[in-house]
Amino acid sequence: MTDDRVHGRSAPASVPAAPAGTTPAPGALAAPPAPGVPAPAGHAPAPAQAAHVPDDVFEAKVLRSFFRDGRLVSIPAQDRKKRVVLRHLRDLCFNEERAYPEREVNQRLALFHPDVAALRRYLVDFGLMTRASGEYRRA
């Protein structure tokens, strides 16, 4: 059963709300503060109020999450995470400034993940590689 307050709906009439200005019982869920009202002391800030995570910390966390034993376990769905993974793959596989034939691109990417077609496409779509006449180059 989901808590309706989490989804922005009011609680059912049979559940009494805590009186204004009182603290809910331990373990009880409190309604989130109204927009523009700071969270009470000792409460974690809402995600929108959370501090920005530095890029290098975010990148390290993403790489730890998506690589196991040097292989890419899955391709991230979120673009920000996908860009981190693709940039890492590009730097590992294509560190020379030269043209790479498609066959070589496939062989290099296959060392990390079986879906080489998707990785090739994403590398180009995200502007990390260029493709012309069946050859790929670092962008």
Q: Which domain holds residue 83?
A: 55-138
Domains: count for the chain: 1
Q: Measured between alpha carbons, how far is 131 from 124 in angstroms, rounded to an integer?
A: 7
Q: What is the CATH number of the domain that holds 132?
A: 1.10.10
Output the pLDDT for position 49: 45
- 123 belongs to a structural domain: yes
- 89 belongs to a structural domain: yes
Output the pLDDT for position 113: 98
- 75 belongs to a structural domain: yes
Q: Measured between alpha carbons, how far is 43 from 24 in angstroms, rounded to an integer?
A: 13
Output the pLDDT for position 53: 72
pTM of the prediction? 0.62
Output the pLDDT for position 51: 59
Q: Measured between alpha carbons, how far is 30 from 6 in angstroms, rounded to an integer?
A: 10
Output the pLDDT for position 114: 97
| Rg (alpha carbons) of the chain, rounded to whole number | 24
Output the pLDDT for position 8: 53
Per-block average pLDDT, block size 10, for the chain (139 residues)? 50 50 52 53 52 84 96 97 98 96 98 98 98 96
- 26 belongs to a structural domain: no
Q: Which two tokens stand for residue 83?
A: 């860009």
Nearest to 104 by CA among 134, 84, 75: 134
